[in-house]
Each structure stands twice: as structure tokens, then as C-alpha cells.
């Protein structure tokens, strides 16, 4: 007997083949078709170039992953595929992931809408395998959310639900919140970019006090306001399962310093908190600082795009001298100048845990860069530093060449930094060459961004020589400079050999 006549052998071989070869094998014989078909239809993307509806219908019992390509919606209304999708959800015993995300502003007739969500919810009530459902941008509205909430009260397998940009208001959120009070399997819920106001936040807050399964809640770009943020943070004093909450872009615009202190001091599970673009100022920065001195779980804190200046940075720096759990701190697009950066730099000299620091779009100028350079000569844990676009007075004040030279000195001594971003800092050939020359000695940096500066052709030869001596840098961004096409090609040729 030929080994290829054994079904198990054919299955092993089929598992090793790319999809294009599986298609060819399925045409060889019935035996090969039987071995290839389950793999061909394990992961299905419905698109104008993918398998047809009829073949998907015939092989629906093999599907584990089903996605409707976004462009598919441009040509086919949801109603044209609804039946096959519902059929797969109801009868398939392998389906685990269903991705039905559409284009954010696609034609309304192509979206699922409330009625489609109602039909889908009925199918979810009997499905026992689906773990991930993505309905982003489908305009299911409040009635669709209400229908899904009924399914969530019964379904016991779904763990991830994406309802981003689905036109859900607080009435719909109240229904979903009621479901969360009894659902014990959903761990990730994305409600970003909807129309959730303070009433919706209150409903979610009540649910969080009871729910013991949800670990990741995304409320980015809603309208919960300061009161909404307060009640949600207040719920975290009781909730002991939520690990990540995204509250950015929510028009907080009022002091929430007291609830921040109380929550972060008492909560022992939250590891990631985002308050980006929430009009957070120095009051909140001081409150967070006080809490971070005793909090032992928060690992990622995003305070980007707020109103924090040197005073707030100073407060946060004091916390960094004590805190031993925070690994990522995002302070991009604030109002932090050299004094604030000096304070943060002093903290980096003693902090042993922070790995990522983002200070892009602040007012860290030459002196701030020097302070960071001195810190990097001592610090052994920071792996990523972003200083993009730190300019003032129309580029009259900036990190510039002097700041770049200071940082180049740090690169010669530092052995932990992996990513350094200095885009849009008015750095010329002088500063760029100093940084590039440091690469001959530095053996840890893998990514350097010098895009949008004033670097010319004079830097090309130094760059090539440095790259010949350096074997660790895999990404070098020199876009939007003036190094010339020949220089671009020469550097690109070297860098392409380093892409893994």
C-alpha cells in the first residue's frame, strides 16, 4: 500500500500545505479532496475573490473562522448573506470566531442594522461554540443592542464582543448592562465610539459592581463626562476582575482627583488605565501620583493629549521614584517643558520598572534632552522612548542638534533602549551623524526614527558605515528628509536584509 493511500498521512501532509496547494490537491482525486476540504474551509473570508456562497453553504460544518471582507459589503447587502451566516452559527459545531465588521461609513443598506442584530441574537441563543463576535460599524442601534443583551443572558461561550461604532445610545447600554449582571463568560467588551452618556455610564457602573467575568472594557470616544467617569471609577473599588479600562476622549472636563486617588489605592486588579484626551490637568496628575505611591498593580497609564505641565510631571516623577509596577507611561501631547522632563529624568535614575515613556509633542527642548541623556546612562530598564515633535516657538526652540548630540552620548553607554523616536525635531546632519555614529558602539537599539527632520545627503555615507558596523538596528526611518533618492536606495538596500 502506498503511504498516500492512508487518510491520516494525507491529513498530515495537507496540514503542511498553503491554501493554494490545497486547492490543487483537492482536484487530484476524491481521497485528496476529502483530506483537503476541511482545511480549505477551516478559515473562510467571504469576498469577491474568495469561495462562493454555495460552496461555503455546502462546507459550513468545517468552518472555525468566518469573516466578511469589508469590501464585500460594498457590493452585497447584509440580507444577501444573512441566511448563510445564521445557518453557520446555528448548525456549525466548530465555529469560534465571527468577524462581521464593516466600513465605518458604508452604505446603510449594506449594514446589519437592528433587524440583522435581532436575527443574529436568536442564533446566538442556541450556539455553543462561538467565542469571538465582531460587529463593529454595523449601526445596530439601541434595538440591536437590546436583542443582543437577551442572547448574552443565555449564551455561555462568547468571551469577546466588539460593538465599536454601532450607534448605540444609553438606552441600549442599559440593556447590555443588565445582561452583564448575569453573564459569566464575556471577558472583553468594546463599546468605543458610540453615544454613551452619563446614564449609560451609571448602568455600566452598576453592572461592574456585580459582574465577575469582564476583564477588558473599552469606552473610548463616548460622552460619559466627569460624572460618568467618577461612577465607573467608583465601581472599580468593588470590582475585582477588570484589568483594563479605556476612558479616553470622553469629555471629562472636571476634577476627578479624589475618586482617582481612592480607586487606585483600593483596587488591586486594574493593570491598564487610559484617560487620554480627557482634559486631565495637574490636579489629577497629583492625585494619580499619590495613588501610584501605594498602588501595586497598574502597569500601563495613558495620560496623553491632556493639560499636564511641569507641575504635573514633577508630581508623577515623585511617584516613579517609589512605584515598582508601572511599565508604560504615556504623556504625549501635554505641556511638559524642560523642568518637567528634568524631574522625570531624575526619577528614571532610580526607577527599575518603567520600560516605555512617551513624551512626544511636549516642550522638551535641548536641556530636557540633556537631562534624559544623563538618565539613560544610568537607567537599565527603559526600552522605548518617544520624543517626537518637541518644539516651541515655531522651531526656534527644539531638541535640535545639541539635544541629538546629548542623546547620542547616552546611546554609547546605554544597553537597554530598543526604540528611540526623534521625528520632527529640527535635527540636521550634525545631530543625525552624532546619533548614527553612536550606532557603531550601541548593540541594543533596534529602531531609530529620524523622520521629518532637516537631514541631508551628507548623512548617507556616515549611515552606511555605521550600519556596516552595527548588526542590531532593524528599523531606520529617514522619511521626509532631504537625503536624496540615491541615498534612500543605498540605505534601503542594507535595511532590507535585516527584516525578519
Supply the CATH number for residue 249's domain: 3.80.10.10
CA distance 343 to 288: 16
21 and 170 inside one domain: no
Computed over every residue of the chain, the mean pLDDT equals: 92
SS3 breakdown of the chain: % helix, strand, coil, rounded to 5? 45, 10, 45
Query: Cell numbers of 63, please?
Result: 468552518
Q: In this predicted model, what pLDDT tens digit does every residue of 448-497 receive, in sequence order?
A: 999 999 999 999 999 999 999 999 999 999 999 999 999 999 999 999 98
**Between 22 and 435, the higher pLDDT residue:** 435
Average pLDDT over residues 220-244: 97
Q: What is the predicted pLDDT for the residue at 81?
A: 82
Say if 243 falls within a structural domain. Answer: yes
> Which whole number is the average pLDDT over 192-201?
98
Domain membership of residue 347 (yes or no) is: no
Claim to verify: residue 98 and residue 64 sit in the same structural domain: yes
381-393 pLDDT, tens digit per residue, is 999 999 999 988 7
Asked whether residue 270 carries a pLDDT value surpassing 90, the answer given is yes
pLDDT tens per residue across span 284-309 = 999 999 999 999 999 999 999 999 99
pLDDT-based confidence at 152, cuts 50/70/90?
A: very high
Q: What is the pLDDT of residue 54?
A: 85
Determine which of 50-59, 195-204, 218-227, 359-368 has the lowest per-residue pLDDT on average: 50-59
The residue among 390, 389, 331, 388 whose CA lies nearest residue 365 is 390
Can you give the pLDDT at residue 106? 66
Same domain membership, residue 20 and residue 128: no
Question: Mean per-residue pLDDT for 348-371?
Answer: 98
**Would residue 404 count as lying in a domain?**
no
Give the sign of the dihedral formed by CA 358, CA 364, CA 369, CA 370. Answer: negative
Q: Which domain holds residue 14?
A: 1-40
pLDDT at residue 480, as a whole number: 97
Q: Write down the pLDDT at residue 332.
A: 98
Same domain, 29 and 148: no
* Percent of the chain whose predicted confidence (pLDDT) is above 70: 90
Are 106 and 233 in the same domain?
A: yes
Q: Residue 221 falls within a domain, yes or no?
A: yes
Q: Does an H or E element contain 366, and which?
A: helix 366-376
Q: Which pLDDT belongs to residue 165?
A: 97
| Boundary-marking domain end, from 205, 238, 254 | 254
- pLDDT of 74 higher than 70: no
d(CA 323, CA 119): 50
Which of 254, 271, 289 finishes a domain?
254
pTM metric for this prediction = 0.92
Same domain? 48 vs 29:
no
Least confident interval from 142-151, 213-222, 387-396? 387-396
Q: Are residues 60 and 151 in the same domain?
A: yes
Amino acid at each position: 500500500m502506498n503511504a498516500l493511500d492512508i487518510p491520516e498521512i494525507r491529513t498530515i501532509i495537507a496540514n503542511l500545505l498553503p491554501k493554494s496547494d490545497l486547492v490543487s490537491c483537492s482536484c487530484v482525486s476524491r481521497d485528496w479532496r476529502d483530506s483537503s476540504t476541511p482545511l480549505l474551509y477551516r478559515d473562510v473570508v467571504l469576498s469577491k475573490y474568495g469561495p462562493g456562497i454555495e460552496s461555503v453553504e455546502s462546507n459550513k460544518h468545517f468552518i472555525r473562522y468566518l469573516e466578511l471582507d469589508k469590501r464585500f459589503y460594498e457590493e452585497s447587502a447584509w440580507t444577501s448573506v444573512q441566511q448563510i451566516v445564521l445557518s453557520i452559527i446555528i448548525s456549525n459545531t466548530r465555529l469560534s470566531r465571527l468577524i462581521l465588521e464593516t466600513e465605518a461609513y458604508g452604505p446603510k443598506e449594506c449594514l446589519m442594522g437592528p433587524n440583522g442584530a435581532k436575527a443574529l441574537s436568536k442564533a446566538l441563543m442556541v450556539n455553543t461554540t462561538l467565542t469571538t463576535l465582531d460587529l463593529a460599524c454595523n449601526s445596530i442601534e439601541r434595538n440591536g443592542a437590546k436583542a443582543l443583551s437577551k442572547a448574552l443572558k443565555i449564551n455561555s461561550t462568547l468571551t469577546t464582543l466588539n460593538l465599536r461604532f454601532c450607534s448605540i445610545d444609553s438606552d441600549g447600554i442599559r440593556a447590555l448592562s443588565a445582561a452583564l449582571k448575569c453573564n459569566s463568560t464575556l471577558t472583553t467588551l468594546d463599546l468605543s465610539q458610540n453615544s454613551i452618556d452619563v446614564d449609560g455610564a451609571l448602568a455600566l457602573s452598576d453592572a461592574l459592581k456585580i459582574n465577575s467575568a469582564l476583564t477588558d472594557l473599552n469606552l473610548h470616544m463616548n460622552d460619559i463626562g466627569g460624572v460618568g467617569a467618577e461612577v465607573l471609577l467608583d465601581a472599580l473599588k468593588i470590582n475585582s476582575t477588570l484589568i483594563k479600562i479605556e476612558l479616553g476622549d470622553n469629555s471629562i472636563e472636571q476634577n476627578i482627583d479624589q475618586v482617582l486617588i481612592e480607586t487606585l489605592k483600593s483596587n488591586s486588579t486594574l493593570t491598564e488605565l487610559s484617560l487620554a484626551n480627557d482634559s486631565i490637568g495637574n490636579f489629577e496628575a497629583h492625585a494619580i501620583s499619590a495613588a501610584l505611591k501605594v498602588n501595586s498593580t497598574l502597569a500601563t497609564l495613558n495620560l496623553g493629549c491632556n493639560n499636564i505641565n511641569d507641575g504635573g510631571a514633577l508630581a508623577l516623577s515623585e511617584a516613579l521614584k517609589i512605584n515598582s509596577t508601572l511599565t508604560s507611561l504615556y504623556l504625549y501631547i501635554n505641556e511638559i517643558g524642560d523642568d518637567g522632563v528634568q524631574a522625570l529624568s531624575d526619577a528614571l535614575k532610580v526607577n527599575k520598572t518603567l520600560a516605555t515613556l512617551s513624551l512626544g509633542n511636549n516642550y522638551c527642548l535641548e536641556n530636557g534632552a540633556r537631562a534624559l541623556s544623563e538618565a539613560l546612562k544610568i537607567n537599565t530598564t527603559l526600552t522605548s522612548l518617544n520624543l517626537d515633535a518637541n518644539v516651541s516657538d515655531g522651531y526656534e526652540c527644539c531638541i535640535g542638534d545639541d539635544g541629538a548630540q546629548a542623546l547620542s552620548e547616552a546611546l554609547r553607554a546605554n544597553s537597554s533602549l530598543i526604540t528611540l523616536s526623534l521625528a520632527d525635531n529640527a535635527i540636521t546632519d550634525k545631530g543625525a551623524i552624532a546619533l548614527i555614529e553612536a550606532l557603531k558602539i550601541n548593540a541594543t537599539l533596534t529602531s531609530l526614527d529620524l523622520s521629518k527632520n532637516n537631514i541631508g545627503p551628507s548623512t548617507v555615507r556616515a549611515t552606511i558605515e555605521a550600519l556596516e558596523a552595527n548588526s542590531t538596528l532593524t528599523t531606520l526611518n529617514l522619511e521626509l528628509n532631504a537625503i536624496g533618492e540615491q541615498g534612500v536606495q543605498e540605505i534601503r538596500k542594507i535595511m532590507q536584509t535585516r527584516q525578519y
